[in-house]
């Protein structure tokens, strides 16, 4: 039953993603790949859409995957699923234990999770980079570098660090997405 599967999968994503934003990508990626709801490149396409539209990436992802697999009802259930755990947890915290972070045990637990999330984001980036830029998924695959993709990646990095030197700020992600779209058309067409 696709509706129940969507609801439960996104309930799990909502309940176990700490840190927001890209911290959620590795769990979302595992879930959509394991169910065959998206391919890796579809996932990347959609992350770009989620980054360019308002709203949290996990909610956007739930709505999109839900809609593609189960129409309106599917997107509604997936979205409710992803929101429900935070809603319930925050309600309990706000009502009963608003001094949650004063407990040393809670802080110790969160302190352990923080470096884990940093590592998860970086590992996901490496895995995605290997599969997208080198067509390498798992052992046994040959490394097939996509020269054009690598050029785009290097250009983006150069701009990123160049801009940091001048202004100490990050270039807006949306600007970088637009630039890479232009580069994609120039190089691949």
Partner 1 sequence: MKKDKWKTYGQLFLTMLKIGAFTFGGGYAMIALLENEFIAKKEWIKKEEFLNMVAIAESTPGPIAINSATYIGYKIGGVFGSVIATLGMVLPSFTIIFIISLFFDRFLSLTYVGYAFKGIQVCVIYLIVTAGIKLLKEMEKSVWNVIIALSVFLAMILCSVFAVQFSSIFYILISGVVGLLVYGIVRLKKKGDEDS
Instruction: Map the footprint of partner 1 across residues 66-125, applying CB under 8 A.
Output: 67-68, 72, 75, 79, 82-83, 85-87, 89-91, 93-95, 98, 100-101, 104-106, 108-125
Q: Of 124, 141, 132, 126, whose CA–CA distance to 41 is shortest?
A: 132
Q: Does 160 participate in binding partner 1 (rule CB under 8 A)?
A: yes
Q: Which residue number, 4 or 87, has a Cβ lying nearer to partner 1?
A: 87
Rg (CA), the chain: 19
What is the smallest separation between the CB atom of 1 and partner 1, expressed in angstroms? 21
Q: Does 8 participate in binding partner 1 (rule CB under 8 A)?
A: no
> Could you give the CA distance from residue 118 to residue 123 in angstroms, rounded to a whole number?
9
What is the smallest separation between the CB atom of 95 and partner 1, expressed in angstroms? 7
Q: Of 73, 89, 86, whose CA–CA distance to 7 is shortest?
A: 73
Tell me the per-residue interface mask from 26 to 65 with partner 1, x by CB under 8 A, - otherwise.
xx--x---x------x--xxxxxxxxxxxxxxxxx--xx-
Contact, 70 vs 29, CB < 8 A? no
Pick from 129, 134, 135, 163 the residue near partner 1 by CB under 8 A. Answer: 129
What is the smallest separation between the CB atom of 167 and partner 1, expressed in angstroms? 15
- Exposed, middle or buried by CB within 10 Å (0-12, 13-18, 19+), for 10? buried
């Amino acid at each position: 039953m696709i509706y129940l599967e969507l609801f439960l999968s996104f309930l799990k994503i909502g309940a176990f993603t700490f840190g927001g934003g890209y911290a959620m990508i590795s769990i979302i990626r595992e879930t959509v790949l394991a169910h065959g709801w998206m391919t890796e490149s579809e996932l990347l396409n959609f992350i770009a859409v989620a980054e360019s539209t308002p709203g949290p990436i996990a909610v956007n992802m739930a709505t999109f995957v839900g809609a593609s697999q189960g129409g309106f009802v599917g997107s509604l259930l997936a979205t409710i699923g992803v929101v429900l755990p935070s809603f319930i947890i925050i309600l309990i915290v706000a009502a009963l234990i608003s001094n949650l972070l004063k407990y040393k045990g809670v802080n110790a637990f969160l302190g352990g999770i923080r470096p884990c999330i940093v590592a998860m984001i970086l590992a996901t980036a490496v895995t995605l980079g290997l599969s997208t830029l080198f067509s390498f998924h798992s052992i046994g695959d040959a490394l097939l570098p996509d020269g054009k993709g690598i050029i785009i990646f290097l250009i983006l990095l150069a701009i990123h660090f160049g801009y940091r030197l001048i202004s100490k700020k990050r270039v807006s992600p949306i600007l970088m997405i637009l630039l890479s779209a232009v580069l994609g058309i120039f190089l691949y067409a």
